């Protein structure tokens, strides 16, 4: 078995994810994983899960959690050993332990063999999948161990950059260092490494400007000047002489080859429903190809999950691989990926160090958006020639992101997910993803909180599904919170969600994602899209959602109202069952726009 905490807590066995779905069960597992092979007392586990004020049933609850985790694991490795529990595994079965060992090896060989050190750092940094212990909520153990693991990651990343600077691989570091210094502006070592890279790339003016920005920020926020090492580097750049302040080992070693492109995320263990959609995708991809399927639907409805599930079922059909790129089209804090960066990712992308930095900062669009991609497109299509490859382009916003990379090779296929329908090449298939049926939503709830709980309160389970508008993401958010409070009846969650204020709070993550669609309309250069955003706030003024009723209520010209309503349908904020008649998706009403 393979245990992972450098990202969401995961267990893998024989290449398959082992479902440990309840957050508090994962938290118990994580408290044991940070001390593999050691006995952890029940009191220590209680303290790491609840802090100084645990519930009076804490010890019994821990015992129940342990029993459920034990049942979930395919091997009997969770032992009861007074005064607590122990995971009887080898330390290197935990990714954090392997990471630390690889980093130590890299440090040991660094001086005599920097090329080997760079390879070892690469191997270590590949283990990172994002924020450590990301799915445990605010339990005390995450608040303690999460920052510790983050600091280990950043330290290793800085050391890896140092090795690459010694080898003269500075040009490839600039995009990642730029992103990282934006996220961690007060980490002087990263600032120093970016300044060195810029200077060696014959961009000294940018290096000096970066120093000035950092200095101003440190003085304003901390009341201190940069440290002596950063000041000396600044002076060296001014003198155009880095030879004394920055060692540079010239070794006849090329920069490492690009790694293979990323594959889709693994299918989630609680995937539920979507039988018809999967069957349609299988049928459409059964032909000789090339096949292009566009999957679209509203926020949180499960487009990406469906694509990942389908891709996992098609590995035999596409023996030359599955390529995956997240186009980041609907994130509130990240711009959509540029066509150049999409091509770079499909051609193999940045190094493992750069991939880790990109996952960490969620940075996108670091390439020049005006970069000529003609050569990259030719290289990409040449790489597909004679192969059977499935390309998954997730979270697209416009055709310019995807059309250059849609395969034209027989035997290949592309799955593109987006909220708004995108016009594809001739022969494109469009699959619309609706909210789940109530039965499937209830089944999903049972897979997360436990089927016995749902069987005990079937009516409450149905009401929770309906209050979540049968939206899988909304349901997962609520179900995850419910699983962390196993003593609450489902009826308590019905009562909580029935309160509009509580519903806004509990579903904030979903609503933030949904607001991106509204913001994209409001910020559009297209008049009808801006009108659609404005109309969304006035839908409640009409007795019914028809062009005639809304034109009468708002005083807008009827043709403009009709076009704006169609834009709202394309943005997946409304749906239309018959021509000229519209309705709000259930979650859209929570944005403050009454039905």
**What CATH number should be reported for the domain holding residue 283?**
3.40.50.300
Residues near 173 by Cβ (< 8 Å), separated by ≥ 6? 161, 164, 165, 193, 194, 197, 354
**Span 301-324, mean pLDDT?**
87
Say yes or no: 157 and 174 in one domain.
Answer: no
> CA 137, 143, 147: angle at the middle one, nearest 5?
120
Q: To which H or E segment does residue 581 belong?
A: strand 581-584
Find the mean pLDDT for residues 59-68: 94
pLDDT attached to residue 294: 94
Peptide bond into 73 cis (omega under 30): no
Same domain, 355 and 234: no
What residues have CB less than 8 Å from 51, skipping those under 6 apart?
A: 140
Which element (helix H / strand E) includes 152? helix 140-167
Residue 554, in any domain of the structure: yes
pLDDT at 280 over 60: yes
- What average pLDDT does the structure give for the chain? 84
Q: Do the domain assignments include residue 270?
A: no
From 108, 137, 167, the end of a domain falls on 167
Among 585, 564, 570, residue whose Cα is nearest residue 419: 570
State the average pLDDT over residues 446-473.
Answer: 92
C-alpha separations of 38 from 2, 28, 71, 291 in Å = 17, 14, 20, 52
Q: Which residues contact 207 (CB under 8 A, 6 or more apart)?
A: 194, 195, 196, 198, 199, 237
Cα 357 to Cα 425: distance, rounded to the nearest angstrom = 34
Helix (H, G, I), strand (E, B) or coil at 171: helix
d(CA 493, CA 453): 13
Is beta strand 10-13 parallel, antiparallel or unpaired with respect to 16-18? antiparallel
pLDDT confidence of residue 323: 87
Question: What confidence score (pLDDT) does residue 526 get?
Answer: 85
92 and 206 in a common domain: no
Kindly state whether residues 521 and 501 are assigned to the same domain: no
| Alpha carbons 504 and 15: distance in angstroms, whole number | 39
Tokens representing residue 92 in the block: 């290197």
- Single residue among 473, 506, 539 that ends a domain in this structure: 506
Domain with 571, as residue range(s), is 510-591
Q: pLDDT for 110-134, tens place per residue? A: 777 888 898 899 899 888 888 888 8
End-to-end CA distance of the chain: 50
Residues 587, 526 within the same domain? yes
470 and 417 fall within a common domain: no
Q: Are residues 475 and 524 in the same domain?
A: no
pLDDT band at 358 (very low <50, low <70, confident <90, very high): very low
Q: Are both 298 and 424 inside the same structural domain?
A: yes
> What is the average per-residue pLDDT within 389-418?
89
Q: Residue 269 domain-assigned?
A: no
Grade residue 321 by pLDDT with cuts at 50, 70 and 90: confident
What CATH number corresponds to the domain at position 53?
A: 1.10.10.10
Of 455, 504, 507, give the one whose Cα is nearest residue 481: 507
Final residue belonging to a domain, choices 408, 433, 458: 433
The CATH number of residue 532's host domain is 1.10.10
Say if residue 425's pLDDT is above 60.
yes
Give me the phi and psi of 391, to 5 degrees please. Answer: -110, 125
Note whether residue 265 is domain-resident: no
Is residue 281 assigned to a domain? yes
| Structure confidence at residue 439 (pLDDT) | 94
In a domain, 575, yes or no: yes
The tally of domains found in the chain comes to 5
- Which segments of 239-351 does DSSP mark as H helices, in order? 275-284, 303-313, 339-346
Residues 502, 514: one domain? no
477 and 506 in contact (C-beta within 8 Å)?
A: yes
Q: What is the pLDDT of residues 435-447, one digit of tens each?
A: 999 999 999 999 8
Q: Identify the band that residue 370 occupies on the pLDDT scale cut at 50, 70 and 90.
A: very low
Q: Does 351 lie in the same domain as 445?
A: no
The verdict on 514 and 577 lying in the same domain is: yes
Helix (H) or strand (E) holding 575: strand 574-578
Q: Same domain for 149 and 201?
A: no
Q: Is residue 366 part of a domain?
A: yes
Query: 78 - beta bridge partners?
Result: 87
How many CB atoms within 10 Å of residue 527?
11
Q: How many CA atoms lie within 13 A of 139 on its CB side?
A: 27
Question: Which pLDDT does position 244 carry in this prediction?
Answer: 42
Nearest of 376, 90, 437, 394 to residue 264 by alpha carbon: 394
């Amino acid at each position: 078995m393979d245990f992972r905490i450098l990202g969401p807590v995961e267990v893998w066995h024989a290449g398959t994810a082992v479902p440990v779905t309840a957050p508090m069960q994962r938290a118990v597992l994580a408290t044991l994983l940070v001390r593999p092979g050691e006995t952890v007392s029940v009191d220590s586990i209680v303290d790491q899960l609840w802090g100084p004020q645990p519930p009076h049933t804490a010890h019994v609850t821990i015992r129940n959690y342990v029993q459920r985790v034990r049942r979930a694991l395919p091997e009997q490795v969770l032992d009861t050993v007074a005064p607590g529990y122990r995971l009887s595994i080898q330390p290197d079965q935990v990714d954090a332990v392997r990471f630390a060992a690889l980093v130590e090896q890299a440090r040991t060989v660094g001086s005599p063999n920097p090329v080997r050190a760079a390879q070892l750092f690469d191997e270590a940094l590949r283990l990172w999948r994002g924020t450590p212990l990301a799915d445990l909520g605010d339990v005390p153990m995450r608040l303690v161990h999460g920052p510790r693991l983050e600091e280990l990651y950043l330290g290793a990343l800085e050391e890896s950059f140092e090795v690459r600077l010694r080898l003269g691989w500075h040009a490839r570091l600039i995009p990642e260092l730029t992103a990282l210094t934006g996220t961690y502006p007060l980490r002087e070592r990263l600032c120093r490494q970016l300044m060195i890279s810029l200077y060696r790339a014959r961009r000294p003016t940018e290096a000096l400007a970066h120093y000035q920005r950092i200095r101003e920020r440190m003085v304003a926020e901390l009341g201190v000047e940069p440290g002596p090492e950063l000041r000396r580097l600044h002076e060296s750049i001014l003198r155009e002489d880095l030879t004394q302040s920055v060692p540079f080992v010239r070794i006849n070693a090329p920069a490492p080859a690009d790694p293979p492109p990323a594959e889709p995320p693994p299918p989630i263990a609680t995937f539920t429903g979507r039988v018809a959609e999967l069957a349609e995708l299988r049928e459409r991809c059964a032909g000789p190809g090339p096949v292009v399927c566009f999957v679209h639907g509203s926020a949180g409805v499960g487009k990406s999950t469906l694509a990942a599930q389908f891709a996992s079922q098609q590995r035999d059909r596409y023996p030359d691989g599955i390529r995956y790129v997240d186009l980041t089209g609907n994130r509130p804090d990240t711009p959509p990926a540029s066509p150049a960066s999409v091509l770079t990712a499909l051609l193999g992308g940045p190094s493992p160090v750069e991939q880790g930095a990109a996952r960490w900062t969620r940075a996108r669009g670091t390439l020049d958006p005006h970069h000529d991609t003609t050569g990259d497109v030719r290289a990409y299509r040449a790489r597909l020639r004679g192969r059977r490859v499935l390309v998954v382009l997730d979270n697209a916003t416009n055709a310019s992101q995807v059309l250059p990379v849609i395969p034209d090779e027989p035997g290949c296929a592309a799955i593109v997910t987006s909220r708004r329908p995108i016009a594809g090449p001739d022969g494109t298939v469009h699959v619309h993803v609706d909210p789940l049926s109530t039965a499937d939503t209830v089944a999903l709830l049972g897979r997360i909180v436990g089927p016995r709980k749902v069987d005990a309160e079937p009516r409450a389970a149905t009401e929770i599904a309906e209050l979540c508008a049968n939206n899988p993401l909304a349901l997962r958010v609520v179900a995850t919170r419910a699983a962390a409070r196993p003593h609450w009846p489902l009826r308590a969650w019905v009562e909580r969600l029935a309160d509009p204020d509580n519903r806004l709070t509990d579903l904030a993550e979903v609503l933030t994602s949904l607001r991106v669609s509204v913001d994209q309309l409001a910020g559009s250069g297209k008049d009808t899209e801006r009108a659609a955003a404005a109309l969304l706030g006035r839908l409640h003024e009409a007795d019914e959602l028809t062009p005639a009723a809304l034109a009468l209520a708002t005083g807008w010209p009827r043709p403009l109202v009709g076009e704006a309503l169609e834009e709202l349908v394309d943005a997946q904020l409304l749906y239309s069952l018959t021509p000229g008649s519209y309705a709000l998706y259930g979650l859209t009403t929570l944005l403050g726009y009454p039905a």
